[in-house]
Structure 1
Amino acid sequence: MKSNHFFKSKFFLIQVGIALGITIVLVWITLSGLKWYTHHGEKLTVPNLYGRSLEEAEQKIDEENLRFTVYDSIYNPKYAPGTVLDQRPLAGAIVKRNRNLFLTINAHQPEQVRFPNLVDNSFRQAYELLITNGFKIGRLEYSKSQFFNLVLYPKHKGDSIGAGTMIDKGATIDLVLGRGNTFGVLAPNLMGKSNAQAKEKIILSNLNIGKVEFDESIVSHSDSLNAKVFKQYPSYNEDRKIRPGNNIDIWLTRDTLKLQQADSLLQQRLSKVLY
C-alpha cells in the first residue's frame, strides 16, 4: 500500500517529469549535433573545373566549401601542365559541404613505358595488352593473311613499332591484322551507349570509329560525357555484314525524347526483320 502511495505522490511525479525533460533535451542536443556534423539538408553544386589550372580549381573549391585530391595525372599536349582534365563527382552533382573531389590533371610530360610484344597475338589479346599498359587503340587495318584477327604488326604515327621500344604512355597504336577468309562482321548495336562505350564496342567489333557528332543538347564537356548514341551508320542489322576495318559514324544527344524515339524505331525495324 505504501509503495502504491509513493508512486502516486507529488515528489515521484516531479522526479519523473525532471527525468523525462532531461531525456528530451539530451535527444534534441544529440540530433542537432548530428545534423551539424553531417550537414543534414545542406546541398552544394559541384563547380565545373574542367580546363582550369590547378590553382584556379583550388581557389574555386575553397570558395564552395569543398575539398579535393589529385587522384591521377595524364598527359595531353593540347593543355598546359596542371590543367584539370577530369573530375569526380562531375560538375553539377549535388553534394554536402566538405565533400572531397577527385581531380585528374595534365602531367608536365608523358610517362614512358616499354612497348609489349603484340605480333602473332590475337586481336583480343593485343587489345587487353594495350589497354593494360595505358595505350589507346587507333585504326584497325586488315591485310592478307590466312588467320583472321591475328596481329601482323603494330604501328605508331605511321611506322611499325617493335617490342621493347620505349614509348609515351597514352600513345595511340594502330594495328595491322590478318584478314583471313572472313566474309564480314556485323555492325554492333550502339543505341543508348555513351561515347566511350560506343567507341570500345566499335573497336571490339573489328571496325573503326568514323565521324562522331553531338547535337545541340551538348553544350559542355560534362554534357558530352553523359551523352548517348541516338543514331549510327551503318545501322545495326543482323542480316547484313560489313567489311572488317570499315568506319561506323555515331551521333549523340542528351535529349531523352530523341533517345526514346530512336529506340522505338530500332525495335520496330527489328520486329519487321524477325517476323
Structure 2
Amino acid sequence: MNTQFADTLLGSLIDGRYRIRARVARGGVATVYTAIDERLDRTVAVKIIHPASGPEGHGRMAGFVERFADEAKTIARLTHPNVVAVYDQGIHANRPYLVMEYVRGRTLREVLAERRRLNPDEALAITEQMLAAIAAAHRAGLVHRDVKPENVLVTEAPTGGAANLIDSVVKVADFGLAQAVEASADDEQASQLMATVAYVAPELVTDGHADPRSDVYSAGIVLFEMLTGRVPYDGNRPVDVAWQHVERDVPAPSILVPGVPKALDDLVTRTTRRDPGARPADAGALLAKVQAAREELGNPNTHTTVLRRVTDKPPAAEPTMAVEAVQPVQRPAWARLPEETPRGGRRRAADDEGAWSRLAPLPNRMMGDQRGRLAVAAVVVMLGLVAAVGGWWVGVGRYTEAPQLVNLDKVDAQAQATRAGLVLRYADPRHDGQVPKDAVLAQDPASASRILKGGTITLTLSLGPERLAVPDVVGKEFDLATTDLTDGGLKVVEGASRYHDSLPEGMVVATDPEAGTEVEPGHTVTVTLSKGRAPISVPNLVGKSLNEARSTLNQLGLVLVEPPTVKESDRPRNEVLGQSPADGAGVEKGAKVSLVVSQGPPQVVVPRVIGMPCQQARQMLEEQSFPVAVRFNRNGTVRFQSPGENSQVPPGTQITLGCL
C-alpha cells in the first residue's frame, strides 16, 4: 500500500461507524490510524492490514481473513490493564481491520530513541508490566511471537510527568497478529513475519516453532536493550542477525554498561538461554523473577543510601547533608508480593500462652496417683526408644554420601546421580578456561559429604573458555575504535597503515582478527589505519592494445605483471579485456597491475572451391561470412584461390578467386 492510497482513507467512514482522522504509523503488515467511533463518541485506533498483491496474494487473503477473525475474537477476550484492548474487527475494501483502544503515549522504541538507555529501576518497572500482559496471554493459550519495543506502549505516569518512567503505565499491543499473518503466508513470507530478527528466539530461526519460552527470550532481549541502549547482535543482512541468536550467547549487560547490577546480568543471561528448556517456562515465571529482582534492588534495608540537603534550618545556619534510604516504588495491586510477616502474630502468641497456663497443673495431678506414675514411666520408656531410633535416623540412617561428580560431563553426572537415588538441579553455568563445555565445574554438597537420601545436588556446568566476538570498528576513528574494543574486554595495538580509496586518513580500514571472530578475553587486536587515498590513480586500460597499455603504465611508474593472462574472445588479438586494480583505484608508484588480453577470435577453415563455377563459389564463400574478390572472368571457372583450401584464418578474412 503506497502513501497516496493510504491518504485516501483519511476522512472515510468504516462500517458506518469509525471516521478515520489521521495516520499514526505504518508497518510491514498494517497501517494504524486514529478514528472517532461516532456511535460511542470516543477516539479509537484502527489497524488496517495491507492489501494483497497479485493472484496468489488474493488467493491467500481468503484464508487469512478467516484466521484473522478467529485471532481477533481470542484477543478480544484477553482482558488485562497492560494489554491494548480490542473492541471490534471487520472487513473494509477487502482488507481486514481491528478496532483497538487508543493509547495516548509513545512506543518504547521512541523512548529509547530519545533516552538511548534506561536506568535499572526504570527498565525493571517497564519489564514488569510488559510481562504481566504477556503472562495473561500465555494463560489464555496465546503466544505473542513478536515482542519488541515497537509493540510496547508507554503512557504518561498517573502521578504526572513524561519523564517518570517508573510510575508510567505500560501496554502491549499486537497479540496474535503475527501468528495470523504467518499462518496465511507462504514459506518466504512466513520467514519474514516470524519475528523481528533483532529479538527472534533461536528455535524460531531453526525450526519455526514458537511457545511461551520464545516470548520469554524476546522479552529478555528487550530488557538487554533498555539496559545497554543497543541490541546484542547486528549484521548487514537480517539472516545474519537471526543466525547469531542460534550460534552465540547473549552477553551480560554489564560488559557494555559497567555498573549494571549482577542481579540484572543474571536475569538477562537466564532469560536469553539458547536452549528453551533452560529459560523460565513462561512470562508468569519470568515475572516472578523480575519482581524478586525489584525487591532486591529496592529493599530499603539493603539499598544504597543517598544524601539529601536539609533546607529547613535557620537562615544563618549552613545547610547540612542527611542520609535517607531510597524507598522501593509502590507496586500496583496486581504486582505485589505476599507479605512476609503474617498479620495477627501477636494475638496467636497470646492465645498460645493462655493455653499453656491452663495445662500447667496437669503433671502434678498425674504424679499424685500410682497408675499415673506407671503410665508416665511407660511413656518415658517408649519415648526413650523412639528417641533412640529417631536419633539414629536423624543423625545417620536418613543420610547417604554424595558421589564425586566434578569433571564428569552432564550425561555421566546424571547417570551416576540416578544410580545413587539423588536428584540434580543446575545453577547458572559459568566460563572456565580449564574445564570443557558441559562438564561439571562444581557441586553442592561436595563429594563425600552427607546428603539426605533422595536429596538434591546442585551442579554448576562449565561454559568452556569465555569467548568474545571482535566488534566491527571498520570506518571508525582510532580513538573510538579503541574504546569499543577495550570496552569489549580486548587489547588494541596499532598496525602498519595503508592507502584506502574511500576512507580518509586516520580511519580504521581493517582489524586482525576480523570483526565477528570469537577470541578469548584480553586477546590483542591489531588495528590497521588508512593513510588516505593513494597518490596515483590506475587508468582505464580496457579496449587498448597490450603495447599501448604497457606504455601508459610505464609513463605512470606502474609495473605490468608479465605475461598477461590470455583469454578467448572475439575481440582482436592482444586487446585488453580486464584489469586489476580497477580503473580509478589509488596505488603507489611501482604498484603492479595485472591485465587480461584477448588471444583473438577462433580460426576458421577455408573450403576448397577450385573447379567450381565462379558465381557458385562466390555465393558459397559469402554464406560462410568470407568476403570474396574475383579476378579475371566473373563467369568463368575457379582456377586458383587465396588463401588456399584448408587454411586456418580469422573469421571475416577476404578470399581472392582467379576465374578463367
> Could you tell me the TM-score, scaled by structure 1's length?
0.33
CA radius of gyration, larger in: 2
> Could you tell me the TM-score, scaled by structure 2's length?
0.16
> Which structure dedicates a bigger proportion of its chain to strand?
1
Q: Which has the higher contact order (CA 8 A, sep 6+)?
A: 1
